[in-house]
Structure 1
Amino acid sequence: MALADHVLSVAPQSAEARKARADAWKTIEPDTTLPGSPSPDEDGAATPLDSMRGPPKRLLLWIDGVGGFLICLSNRITFGQATGDAPVDVPLYADVSRMHATLNRDAEGYLIEAARPVLVNGQPQTRSLLRPGDRVTLGQSCQFLFQQPVPVSTSAKLEIASGHRLPFAIDAVLLMADSLVLGPGQHVHVPLPDRKSDLIIFRHKDGLGLKCPGDFVIDGQRCKDRGILGIQATAKGPDFALAVEPAVRIY
């Protein structure tokens, strides 16, 4: 995997480099279970997050010495102002509308659809397929960078670039498809510079699972190579410690 990452960093557009990274990925990628994504209400508005049945749409990931991340699990993500009467997936303390835009993931990629003014790389857009490195502006000044750092993964990362905050003390929003890669190198969703190998968080019927080479502990239970996090757990290994929990509305 490390060799494939190096080749891809030198020649990111090379088909051979991408194939090498994909082949390396297949040797470590776990089997995943993809739960169905919840549907919006009939009027198109987001379903209140705290009243939904079944697995939560969002989880918080805390990594010691690294930071916090909001994991969004749905294929349809909503953005808007952090107000109690219009719950959205990515609530923002910013001058944006209560329901400002949606981001939809499908086979083509990530399509942003604007309900209120949206710029992509400085150009007004009503519907736009995002590409890695695109800068999206909601309203007058709330900006985030869209990234897909793992070429063979459809999961994506949103980095808040304008200094605006969410109700949670997080560093980025992770749009999780099958899995998330945490580890050293450039081609990861969350950099862990002190790790020698990748950690992989994957979907499981009970929430999330963790794949980590060697021995580690989840909620006091010893695991080897892989274990189940569910929707709330703490995991520790020789050189990492992380926790996941449901993202409960606090606004």
Structure 2
Amino acid sequence: MDVSESKTLANSKPAALRWRLWVDGCGGFLILPGERWTIGGAGPAGTSDVRIHSDLARIAGTLSRREDSYFWEFADAARPAELVLSGHPLSMTGSASLIFRHPSPLSRSAVLTLMPPHRFAGHVDEVILADETLLMGATADCHIKVAHLGSEKVVITRRGDRWLGKVVGDPELSELTVGQRMELGDVVMTLEEA
């Protein structure tokens, strides 16, 4: 290994495991890649992937993706895993109501929406359990609802530790630079490591 290679390795950092996406006029989204996520309370000792300001235990349970289906498992493991259906709440213990949505059969990504008065830690509006592709637009098959888009849609895709996006129909993908405000069609957004 030469000097330039060793400097590159020394300056490189591991890929982010969590992102926040801020979409102007729409809200903030926590994006979590993977196949398995813990859900729990947002107290000072909270260590779960999805943290909720509520009466939940530090880890209430785990949501996992197996092929095209999602399953909820309580932390105590005394009960069997439950298949989670799109549009239904997770059967968590406590006062928080967390709605699961799998909007598009063309993407394995899903969305978690928390019903008021509870809120997610990190000031985000929804949590996206990301596979490789996310769709933004005004229609029901979109992961991120952007009402002002009309019929236009934006697709965001992950390749390794990079996020790329384009307006559906455009030939070229543009890289979303972390920390930089970016426009894709009528969508203005900023991607951050969380």
**TM-score interval (norm. to shorter):** 0.7 to 0.9
- Secondary structure at the counterpart of residue 153 of structure 1: coil
2:51 alignment partner in structure 1: 91
Letter in 2 for 1:172: E
Between the aligned partners of 2:51 and 2:131, the Cα distance in structure 1 is 20
Q: What is the count of residue pairs matched by the alignment? A: 181
2:83 to 118, 129, 135: 129
Alignment CA distance shift 1:246-1:131 (3 Å): same
- Aligned-residue Cα RMSD (Å) equals 2.3
Report the equivalent of 2:176: 229
Q: Is the 8 A contact 2:21 2:190 kept in 1?
A: yes
Q: Secondary structure at the match of 1:225?
A: coil
Consecutive unaligned residues in structure 2, runs of 5 or more: 1-12
Match of 1:204 in 2: 159
Mapped to 2, the partners of 1:213 and 1:156 lie a distance apart of 20
Question: What's 2:120 paired with?
Answer: 166
> Which residue does the alignment assign to 1:64?
24
* Equivalent residue, structure 1, for 2:4: none
Give the letter for the 2:120 counterpart: L
**1:108–1:198 distance in 2 versus 1, CA, 3 Å:** closer
Q: Is the 8 A contact 1:213 1:225 kept in 2?
A: no
Cα deviation for residue 108 of structure 1 reads 4.9
Compute the TM-score of the two structures, normalised by the length of structure 1: 0.65
Q: Which amino acid aligns with 2:98?
A: F
Asked if the contact 2:114–2:120 (Cα under 8 Å) also holds between the matched residues in 1, the reply is no
Identity across the alignment (%):
29
Take 1:95 and 1:185, find their aligned partners in 2: how far apart are those partners? 33
TM-score where L is the length of structure 2: 0.83
Contact 2:182–2:188 (Cα < 8 Å) also in 1: yes
